[in-house]
Amino acid sequence: MSPEFSSDLVARFSAIVGGRYAIADSEAQEPYLREWRDRYHGRTPLVLLPGSVAEVSAILKLADETRTPIVPQGGNTGLVGGQIPDASGNELVVCLKRLDKVRAVDPDSNTMDVEAGVTLQRAQQAAQEAGRLFPLTLPSEGSCTIGGNIGTNAGGTGVIAYGNTRDLVLGLEVVLAGGRIWHGMRHLRKDNTGYDLKNLFIGSEGTLGIVTAAVLKLFPRPRSVGTAFIGLDSPAAALSLLQVAREAGGGTVTAFELLPRRGIEFVVKHGADARDPFAQSYPWYVLLEVSSSAEEGVEAGLEKMLMQAYEKAYARDVVIATSLEQAANFWRLRELLSETQRFEGGSIKHDVSVPVRLVPAFLSKAVAAVEAFIPGSRPLPFGHLGDGNIHFNVSQPVGGDKKAFLALWEETNALVHGIVAEFGGSISAEHGIGQSKRALLPGVKDAVELEMMRQIKATLDPKAIMNPGKVL
């Protein structure tokens, strides 16, 4: 514990949630202080687990009175360090996992009220039990929480059809710095009564307040889904395939994931039960999912569209899933891409986006630049081609020194992000800013835009206690 954080203050904060939910033991705190890639590791005098909105309010009221910095946390699955305290030992972690109630599901209005600590998987299940779909899908859905998804404006594979988290939220309940509660749990699709305040908090990473609950949009569940794995020659061919799929796919394109050959090799080599769908290898692959409200016809429409793509040479080879097990294997190839890279040594990662039509040109230039900068490096770009979001990861050279490779992280970032800027893109497509990209914002944000962000921060958090050192 930092000497600046007195035992009396620890006792006052602990009393709000009760001793059982105020974690002071350093060993017990560890899961809350280290993120899964082990890039960020902080210290804290206390991890608080409030069990109600009133307790969150009391915590922030006392924090405001004592100028105690607060770091909100959900499932601790963030990738940019936004949920991890600094090394000073003066920042309190407030974990929302106990706020885990599904308050209401309304199939008629296609809405669902959930608390911030509900896992994404539980939200999906609650929607399914009501005959509806909550379409946000992430590899970490078993442990990431709705509050964290909102804080980072999470994306995922379904953005092409349903949008990111910002597009899936109708209303919020937020505890502001100082303890005031904004009761913004509105269920309205239309509400032109001034500023849309909820969007200030979506993507703010806990720097403006703590989201404690949300009204989420639901959708009718698709009655039929067709899934295909497609081998092709290039990202340009994939882009052409995307246009054909949108126009003649037999349903709504609900996923369109671009994968490189190297990624498939990594997953098949290191991933449990992962199988290559083809006997022959191809430079690139697309995982395509098409959904329909009709009970029949999606498979026939998908097959017809893929035949058209094959005839136009956009597709070299195609396998359409004929069972749920086969479709699951296709998705396993995509979902294990990030995890299996660690078995190949160090990996320098980027979460970027460019306009969809420019993805092929961006990949060509970025891959060539990285390979020239780090001879022997293995670029592994993959991701959501349908919305222009590419996870441009780079694995170390075979047999290379991991430490020496990772020491080039910042220089590689500068190289890749410079090319992203040339293409009018973003250095953070869906993971947020956190600690990782904070220093990069002045180089990519307009000065007026940054000043507006600072003014909003100063208005809602005048004592700068909400997740300091993140985003701004």
Rounded to whole angstroms, the Cα distance separating 288 from 472 reads 38
What is the model's pLDDT at position 249? 72
Each residue's pLDDT tens digit, 93-125: 999 999 999 999 999 999 999 999 999 999 999
What is the model's pLDDT at position 293? 86
Residue 33 covered by a domain: no
Whether the pLDDT of residue 143 is over 60: the answer is yes
Are 320 and 377 in the same domain?
Answer: no
Residue 160 covered by a domain: yes
> Which tokens go with 96?
């929302």
289: domain CATH number? 3.30.70.2190
All residues at 6 or more sequence positions from 360 whose CB lies less than 8 Å from its CB, including other chains: 234, 235, 236, 238, 239
Rounded to whole angstroms, the Cα distance separating 234 from 219 reads 34
Are 120 and 158 in the same domain?
Answer: yes
Whether the pLDDT of residue 4 is over 70: the answer is no
The single-letter code of the amino acid at 278 is F
Are 312 and 376 in the same domain?
Answer: no
Each residue's pLDDT tens digit, 292-328: 988 887 888 899 999 999 999 999 999 999 999 999 9
Q: How many domains does the chain have?
A: 3
Are 183 and 252 in the same domain?
Answer: no
Are 212 and 235 in the same domain?
Answer: no
End of a domain among 175, 191, 220? Answer: 220
Q: At residue 317, what are phi and psi to the nearest 5 degrees?
A: -155, 150
Mean pLDDT of the chain: 94
Half-sphere exposure of 175 (CA within 13 A, CB side): 27
Are 258 and 356 in the same domain?
Answer: no
- pLDDT band per the 50, 70, 90 thresholds, residue 169: very high
- pLDDT band per the 50, 70, 90 thresholds, residue 422: very high
388: domain CATH number? 3.30.70.2740
Residue 63 covered by a domain: no
Each residue's pLDDT tens digit, 233-282: 999 999 999 999 998 877 899 999 999 999 999 999 998 888 999 999 99
CA distances to 67, 349, 359, 386, 444 from 428, rounded to whole Å, are 30, 11, 15, 16, 10
Alpha helices in 254-358 (DSSP H): 261-270, 298-311, 324-335, 337-340
Are 374 and 404 in the same domain?
Answer: yes
Residue 332 covered by a domain: yes
Q: How many CB atoms lie within 10 A of CB 413?
A: 17
Residue 137 covered by a domain: yes
CA distances to 235, 380, 404, 451 from 348, rounded to whole Å, are 21, 10, 12, 31
Residue 287 covered by a domain: yes
All residues at 6 or more sequence positions from 161 whose CB lies less than 8 Å from its CB, including other chains: 135, 252, 253, 254, 255, 291
Are 146 and 216 in the same domain?
Answer: yes
Are 370 and 305 in the same domain?
Answer: no
Tokens 């804080």 belong to residue: 151
End of a domain among 287, 312, 338? Answer: 338
All residues at 6 or more sequence positions from 62 whose CB lies less than 8 Å from its CB, including other chains: 12, 13, 16, 68
Are 273 and 307 in the same domain?
Answer: yes
Element (H, E) at 61: helix 53-66
What is the model's pLDDT at position 37? 77
What is the model's pLDDT at position 404? 97
What percentage of the chain reaches a pLDDT higher than 90? 88
Are 112 and 162 in the same domain?
Answer: yes
Q: Give pTM, 2 decimals.
A: 0.92
138: domain CATH number? 3.30.465.10
End of a domain among 167, 186, 220? Answer: 220
> Which tokens go with 113?
């009220």
Residue 142 covered by a domain: yes
Residue 54 covered by a domain: no
Are 110 and 215 in the same domain?
Answer: yes
Q: How many CB atoms lie within 10 A of CB 11?
A: 11
Residue 351: give the domain boundaries: 345-430
